[in-house]
Structure 1
Amino acid sequence: MKSLLKYTLAFFIMAATTMFTSCSSDDDTTTTTTDELSGITKFKEFSNDTHTIELYSKAGSLEQGFNEISIRIKDKSTGNYEKNAEVSWMPIMHMTMMNHSCPKSEVEKTTPNGTLYNGYIVFQMAQNTTEYWDLKVDYTIEGTAYTATSVIDVPASAKKKVSSFTGTDGVKYVVAYAEPTNPKVAVNDIALGVWKMQNMMDFPVVDGYKVKIDPRMPSMGNHSSPNNVDATQKTIGGLYEGKLSLTMTGYWKINLQLLNAAGDVLKGETITETVTESSLFVEIEF
């Protein structure tokens, strides 16, 4: 009898341990997935015969301008997310008379064991009733190539965040505002991107230039702010980083000047008593 009780007790202890371990494992998986998606929201999914492509962003949408985008690839047959894909993308604006692309980054993984593939796309123009953007995602898994394409929504931004123009050197440029996404009354870290149009489909990063910054409040006598720092590149191929001083809440026009490596102004004007705004600017309101 004692022997039977001993084995019965041992069985229940093992069962309880297994159940606890199983629950802990499930919780760990849920926590990992939740942490990976923290701060981003899915705004689009589309499929091919094999996979479902999921698109995420902080805002849960896209807009005209600079957009950080994350991708997940789900196997339809297993429901599992692919962790070892090589991914690239190609956004295309379908206009009435022509097609073109826009500035975009490579697509890379930020965590080796994660399921997210990340990058940015800069939509220099918004969709309209007759012209639209689509996104083609190409990827390779264990030597097999796949592709999926879908129309995406790119509405106009509420404030001006991107500018396309021809510089005094005859080159076509795109300048876009990237950070801060949540500006504060403080000296903020600002990030801007500079690209050139090499052809209708290729927009490489411009290296070694400078973006001069002069924020102004038009409703408050067009006053500026102290301690701004012009934006320069910290790394080749990267965004241009500087300091943006905002002394109060409200609407700010951030006047810009784009200078090449020799210091020549390619676009934009210095603000004076008679020149109240630059022809190159972005806007924020908070």
Structure 2
Amino acid sequence: MKTIKFLLVTLAVAILFNSCSDDNDDPVIVQENPLSEMNRLTTLSANNHTIELYSENTDFTVGYNMFYYRIKDESTDTYLSNAQITVNPLMHMTSMTHSCPKSAISKMEDDTIYMGYAVFQMPGNADEYWELNMEYTLDGETYAISERIDVGMPEDGFKRVQSFIGADDKRYIVAMIPFEPEVKVNAFSAMVFQMENMMNFPIVEGYTLGIDPRMPSMGNHSSPNNENLTFDSSTGKYNGKLSLTMTGYWKINLQLFNKQGDVLKGEPVTDENEASSLYFELEF
């Protein structure tokens, strides 16, 4: 009899243990952040929503910036895929306010992620600053949110964007697309915009951006197999080839040509002229 009672107690303990083990073995669902390898630059909160802004950069930087956005509904703790978003950065100067070149906002393959670029022409300071203005529409209702952002120069201080008045008396902005330079012939891209007014900067189509990379510290030597940048209508970018034959500091001398081949800005590099007035810089 004692043996039977002992067996019954043992069986009950075993069943309880197995039941607890089964409960503990249930998979824990963890919602992964598809942008976890990028840098979250800011988080905006309003209207019971949280807007997260990510970039490959560590901060808002003068030049070309690609941004990635996610909108979370705080009441359901879910990220939304049905938003229509517009973003308009504004530079508040002491005497005027202007925007910058920017793209429409589109969805990525993960439809909870929205993306678009902005090209900041100048840094902010204590008295003049950039403001990020966003409007987004959900289920027919439009919301607005704004936040002051700190836009600084790149850490290395190099030029990756130039704003200038061309020989045709129109103002242009030329921006280098970020890339990882290597000792080889690199794919190289830039964008060209025209300042239509203080708020609109349409992409310029069909021009040519001539390149002549030089190493000032090495006798200002150039490199072979470079290809001028020409317009790609499918991306809105100017694409070409940049040959880098060694590591170090490079000045990428530029000339902007219109459709007729007229030079709008920049000079050729010669024995008498060591650099163009239009250029990008990089060091690796």
> What is the TM-score normalised by the length of structure 1?
0.88
Partner amino acid for 1:22? P
Question: What is the match of residue 223 of structure 2?
Answer: 225
Question: Aligned-pair distance for 1:50?
Answer: 2.0
Q: Deviations over 1:224-277 (max 9, x none)?
A: 111111111222561111111111111110000111111111111111111110
Which of 123, 128, 132 matches 2:120?
123
| Corresponding residue of 1:146 | 143
Write the deviation string for residues 185-236 of structure 1: whole angstroms up to 9, x where unpaired.
Answer: 1111111010000110000101111111111010000001111111112225
Compute the displacement of 1:38 (Å): 4.6
Over aligned residues, Cα RMSD in angstroms? 2.4
Secondary structure of 2:221's counterpart equals coil
Report if aligned partners of 1:89, 1:135 keep a CA contact under 8 Å in 2. Answer: yes
**Equivalent residue of 1:22, what SS?**
coil
Indicate conservation of the 8 Å contact 2:172/2:195, yes or no.
yes
- The amino acid of 2:117's aligned partner reads Y
Which runs of 5 or more residues in structure 1 are unaligned?
A: 1-8
Matched-pair contact (CA < 8 Å) for 1:179–1:189: no
Stretches of 4+ aligned residues off by more than 6 angstroms: 9-19
Contact 1:88 1:139 in 2 (8 A): yes
Determine the structure 1 residue equivalent to 2:195: 197
Please identify, of 38-47 and 208-217, the stretch whose mean Cα deviation from structure 2 is larger: 38-47
Q: Which residue of 2 aligns with 1:4?
A: none
For each residue in 1:110-144, what CA deviation from the matched residue of structure 2 results, as whole angstroms up to 9, or x when unmatched?
1153x211111000111122100001011111111
Residue number in structure 1 paired with 2:52: 54
Aligned position for 1:254: 252
Is the CA contact (8 Å cut-off) linking 2:64 and 2:178 kept in structure 1?
no
- Aligned pair in 2 of structure 1 residues 277, 47: CA closer, same or farther (>3 Å)? same
- Letter aligned with residue 137 of structure 2: T
Match of 1:171 in 2: 170
Corresponding pairs, count: 277
CA shift for structure 1 position 78:
2.5
1:126 alignment partner, SS class: coil
CA distance in structure 1 between the partners assigned to 2:35 and 2:230 by the alignment: 31
The aligned counterpart of 2:76 is 78
Give the direction of change, closer, same or farther, for the CA distance of 1:80–1:270 in structure 2 (3 Å limit).
same
- Equivalent pair of 1:206/1:237 in contact (CA under 8 Å): no
User: Which is worse superposed, 78-87 or 211-220?
Assistant: 78-87
SS of equivalent residue, structure 1 residue 263: coil
In structure 2, C-alpha distance between the alignment counterparts of 1:185 and 1:62, rounded to whole Å: 28
Partner of 2:27: 22
8 Å CA contact retained: 1:177, 1:192: yes
- Alpha-carbon distance in 1 for matches of 2:164, 2:72: 39
Is 2:118 the counterpart of 1:102? Answer: no
- Tell me the distance in 1 between the aligned counterparts of 2:231 and 2:218: 32
Question: Is 1:88–1:137's contact at 8 Å kept on the other side of the alignment?
Answer: yes
Distance of 2:222 and 2:75 partners within structure 1: 58
Supply the distance in 1 between the matched residues of 2:258 and 2:22 (Cα, whole angstroms): 66
Deviation at 1:39, TM superposition (A): 3.4
Change in Cα spacing, 1:243 to 1:10, as seen in structure 2 (3 Å) is farther
Q: Cα distance, 1:16 vs. partner?
A: 7.1
SS in 2 for 1:179: coil
Match of 1:43 in 2: 41
Q: Relative to structure 2, which stretch is displaced further, 88-97 or 182-191?
A: 182-191
One-letter code aligned to 1:199: N
Q: Which has the higher helix share?
A: 1
Paired with 1:235 and 1:19, the residues of 2 have a C-alpha distance of 56
| Deviates further, 191-200 or 67-76 | 67-76
Q: 1:284 to 1:221 in 2, by over 3 A?
A: same
Report % sequence identity. Answer: 48
Shift in CA distance, 140/15, structure 1 to aligned 2, threshold 3 Å: farther
SS in 2 for 1:103: coil
Task: Look at both structures and tell me which one has the larger radius of gyration over its CA atoms.
Answer: 2
Give the counterpart letter for 1:96 in structure 2: T
Give the partner amino acid of 1:130: D
Distance (whole Å) between structure 2 residues aligned to residue 98 and residue 72 of structure 1: 31
Q: Tell me the equivalent position of 2:134.
A: 137
